Structure 1
Amino acid sequence: MLDLVTDLAVTLGYAAVGIALMGIGAVLVDLATPGSLRHLIWHERNANAAILLASNLVAVGTIATTAIVASDGDFLRGIGSTAGYGLIGLLVMTVAFVVLDLATPGKLGELLVHPEPHPAVWISAVVHVAVGAIIAAAIL
């Protein structure tokens, strides 16, 4: 029974770190785009904003999951690498967004929350997912 309680506590620890990382990712996406991301997605039903945020969350989840698996059951190592690699992933995603913004005409953040579908959102989304995969591969 003690093993079960320990495993549940470890799971809650990893979940807390993962949720915190996803929250930080959502804040970073919100800062990179004009207006309130929450309002754009839930009130205006802006698909571009939703795709952008979802891709960030998938990337963060990929990094966190890989860090947990790579920890081989060592909780302290796992929680540290999940937080560390997650923060590095968010930093790299932010840098990639800035680089993509510099390489494209106009302000990328404005294009990505435009009410009409815009193909730039898919490019930015793939950059998020690719960064998540690169960081995940680096963990292994």
Structure 2
Amino acid sequence: MTDLLNAVFHAVVYALVSGVILIAAYYVLDLVTPGHLGSHLHGTDESGKASVHLQSRSAGLVASSWMVSNALVLFTAIWTNGATDLGWPLAWTVSFAVLGVALNAAMLFAIDAVTPGNLRQIVTEPGPVRPLAWLAAASALSVAAIVCASIA
């Protein structure tokens, strides 16, 4: 029974820490994209009026891939380190998660620098998914794969 309670406690701690990191990851993406990311996703204008025509499907694609990317890093870190105890395994998980968020932001800036136009502006424009948004989404998932491989 003690093992079960200990495992449940670890699951709760890892879930709470992961939730905080994923929220922080969202805010980092919000900081590196122009405007308010939530407004681009929801489709609201400056006055707060919502319209489906103001929604950015590109921002939705990039934000969702960003979240999946960071969740994959968290999953891998927990899967490989979290079976023993909290302490160092939790510190490793947080360290790799922060690294994943930072590398995703750096990659977004790097792709923005080598592609024509302003990638961060383009992916927040209302309307259908733009090709550069697919590139930004793929880069986030690529960063996750690289960080996950370095953990395992």
In structure 2, the partner of 1:132 is: 144
In structure 2, the partner of 1:87 is: 98
- 1:3-14 superposed matches below 5 A: 3-14=3-14
- Of 63, 75, 79, 1:69 maps to 79
2:96, 2:15 → 1: CA distance?
Answer: 15
Hey, which of these two has a bigger chunk of helix by percent?
Answer: 1
In structure 1, the partner of 2:110 is: 99
Residue-pair matches, total: 140
1:6, 1:41 → 2: CA distance?
Answer: 39
TM-score (norm. length: structure 2): 0.86
Offset at residue 16 of structure 1 (A): 1.3
1:9, 1:74 → 2: CA distance?
Answer: 12
Identity within the alignment, %: 25
TM-score (norm. length: structure 1): 0.93
**Structure 1 unaligned blocks of 5 or more:** none
RMSD of aligned alpha carbons: 1.3
**Structure 2 unaligned blocks of 5 or more:** 44-53
- Of 56, 62, 87, 1:52 maps to 62
- Structure 1 runs of 4+ with >4 Å offset: none
